[in-house]
Amino acid sequence: MVPEIDRIYGKRVRVRACGICWDGDRVLVVNHQGLTDGDFWAPPGGGVEFGFSVPETITREFREETGLEVETGRHLCVFEYINTPLHAVELFFEVERRGGTLRTGTDPELPPDRQIITAARFMSFEELGRVSAAEKHGIFRIFNTPESLRTAYGYWKI
């Protein structure tokens, strides 16, 4: 893990709002480097800031990370991740693409020369199946088909 991640996000509980965006049976994922020893593919999302709603957070994070404009839909599930120094409670929602152009975005909490987002793209579940468990978000380990992710529910500790 890069030191900035520990400094910015470590040793506190972080509430994150994340979106599941579809293109047919492909799901939108963002690749991060520096969270683990290699790649880490996860749905777009980020920390809920004081005074901002979950839908506002999802809109902001999609714009920053992917360049897409989205509308937040129904709540799917909650994931909790605890691996010192990180602790996140992640709220997952369906999102509908409303505009924008898909691009690799940035993380404004990090300086330009220390960015960790390296790609944003729609990925099939066949492709996700070839990604090691350590290099993809736990939501794709538990819900490993389009059908199961579309009907995701409940609380999951990963």
Give the count of domains, the chain.
1
The pLDDT assigned to 113 comes to 84
State the CATH number of the domain containing residue 64. Answer: 3.90.79.10
What CA–CA distance (Å, rounded) separates 27 from 63? Answer: 16
Tens-digit pLDDT profile for residues 94-136: 999 999 999 999 988 878 888 889 999 999 999 999 999 999 9
For residue 77, what are the domain limits?
Answer: 3-157
The terminus-to-terminus CA distance of the chain in angstroms comes to 18
Q: What's the pTM value of the predicted model, to 2 decimals?
A: 0.92
Would you say how long the chain is, in residues? 158
